Homo-oligomer: A and B are copies of this chain.
């Protein structure tokens, strides 16, 4: 099939990119610049697509930032929370309606190039703090996407039943250049090793029993400390 991959440059969507190419699908990668603090992920996306010879477009939606205010991912004045994903502190990382906006733009591109599907790297660990990660939301979007044009576009989520550890394991199998992907919400020189997405990434490699080649900041807690604290930060 020919598909548009919603491609952040993070671990999950990079593994999905390799996974789809491994299955001999034709992939066009779409990244969205929505003014995220961790814009480094866009550079990762570009570098990895160039390496693979995959057609890559970055849709610039930064002009929407004033409309979609209030998330720590786009507003410099809101602090990125540290620690494990949890109802309370991670709500600040919600960008209003991000998934619907991403899917609508990807579907527009899919219709325009007559692609069969839009793919994205939703997985079983996706967090209930994000309302637009709920199954009912995705079911409704899947239906809307199929009806958006006469030529019906499918919504593909090959990892939807996988844990993040399954994805880390697949990364190793496919020799994905994990160290080139970017997850950290902080967007500093190296992964902070302390924010929700860093903790989740480190936990995945640990549970998969696969080595994690990601360089983390010197002040990040060690995996041993994190395991001892049940993946909570001591601080």
Contacts and interface: CB of A to CB of B under 8 A. Distances in A.
B97 A101 contact: no
Interface string A52-83: 00000101110110111110000000000000
Given A131-B148, A144-B144, A67 B105 contact: yes
Interface residue range, chain A: 35 or more
Contact of A147 (B96, B111, B132): B132
A219 interface: no
Nearest to A95: B108
Given A67-B108, A67-B109, A112-B67, A149 B59 contact: no
A100 B107 contact: yes
Nearest to A94: B149
Contacts of A69: 112
Of A104, A107, A137, most buried by chain B (CB within 10 Å of CB) is A104
A131 B108 contact: no
A189 interface: no
Contacts of A104: 97, 100-101, 103-104
A136 interface: yes
A235 interface: no
18 contacts: A59-B64, A59-B67, A60-B63, A68-B112, A70-B112, A97-B148, A99-B148, A100-B103, A100-B145, A101-B108, A131-B147, A131-B149, A132-B147, A136-B143, A140-B140, A140-B143, A140-B147, A143-B143
Interface of A: 30, 57, 59-61, 63-64, 66-70, 95-101, 103-105, 107-109, 111-112, 131-132, 134, 136-137, 140-141, 143-145, 147-150
Q: Which A-B residue pairs are the 7 nearest by beta carbons? A: A97-B108, A140-B144, A96-B111, A140-B143, A60-B63, A100-B104, A137-B147
